[in-house]
Amino acid sequence: MSHGVAPSILSADFGNLAHDIEMLNKSQADWIHFDIMDGVFVPNISFGFPVLKAVKKIAQKPLDVHLMITEPDHYIEQFAQAGASVLTVHYEACKHLHRTISQIKSLGLKAGVSLNPHTPVFLLQEIISELDLVLIMSVNPGFGGQSFIENSYKKIAELKTLIEKNQSKCLIEVDGGVDLNNYKKLVQAGVNMLVAGNTVFASENRIKTIEKLKEA
């Protein structure tokens, strides 16, 4: 299958957010990526339900919501109601991961699990068949604009092997430091969905940049 691109609105212009969402609607972007941060699980605070609901009203792409928060189980239903299409939780934040994934799927959403850079892929072997998506963090979560961690390629290869071994249909998503210099190597390694923030929103021609990231 061809790979997709999910621009992260963490890097968007919040003074002109509606304009940026309309740009994404017109672009070849596949999803719109939301990084939800609580200042506890990661050292930053981003946005919550009001922004998600506002974007949902005008977005014509699925909303890919990445929860970088503690106790995500408390908010799953609210994020579903706010408009999420894909909901990803962190392995490190879930005490009962299978229960969390089951709850997400019961609400009709695609369910994903994210791994921080220090978290090994093999920890997902008991649940990989239940997942729609695994999000590999290729930077330490919390802030945009960080440099790509090269060891991520090794983790992507391990994850691809785990998926194939279990005959899972799980997608591989990567977030952090994705740019025009490394996106092709990531896709060749097995990535299905590229999350790009600064690479898109800091470019002079955002639609062209997204188009470039979609090239094989």
Q: What is the pLDDT of residues 177-200, one digit of tens each?
A: 999 999 999 999 999 999 999 999
Q: Reply yes or no on whether the pLDDT at 1 is more than 70.
A: no
Q: What is the pLDDT of residues 49-97, one digit of tens each?
A: 999 999 999 999 999 999 999 999 999 999 999 999 999 999 999 999 9
- Own/partner contacts of 75-80, CB < 8 Å, gap of 24 or more, are 76/100, 76/103, 76/104, 76/107, 77/103, 77/107, 78/49, 79/36, 79/49, 79/52, 80/104, 80/107, 80/108, 80/109
Mean pLDDT of 115-141: 96
Q: Reply yes or no on whether the pLDDT at 145 is more than 70.
A: no
Q: Reply yes or no on whether the pLDDT at 141 is more than 90.
A: no
Mean pLDDT of 104-118: 97
Which of the following is catalytic: 20, 35, 38, 64? 35
User: pLDDT-derived band of residue 2, with 50, 70 and 90 as boundaries?
Assistant: confident
Q: Report the CATH number that the domain containing residue 31 is assigned in CATH.
A: 3.20.20.70
* Helix or strand holding residue 24 (H, E): helix 17-26
Mean pLDDT of 162-167: 97
What is the domain range of residue 83?
Answer: 4-213
User: pLDDT-derived band of residue 144, with 50, 70 and 90 as boundaries?
Assistant: low
Would residue 20 show up in a list of annotated catalytic residues for this protein? no
140 burial level (CB within 10 Å; 0-12, 13-18, 19+) = middle
Q: What is the pLDDT of residues 10-54, one digit of tens each?
A: 999 999 999 999 999 999 999 999 999 999 999 899 999 999 999
Would residue 35 show up in a list of annotated catalytic residues for this protein? yes
Domains contained in the chain, number: 1
pTM: 0.96
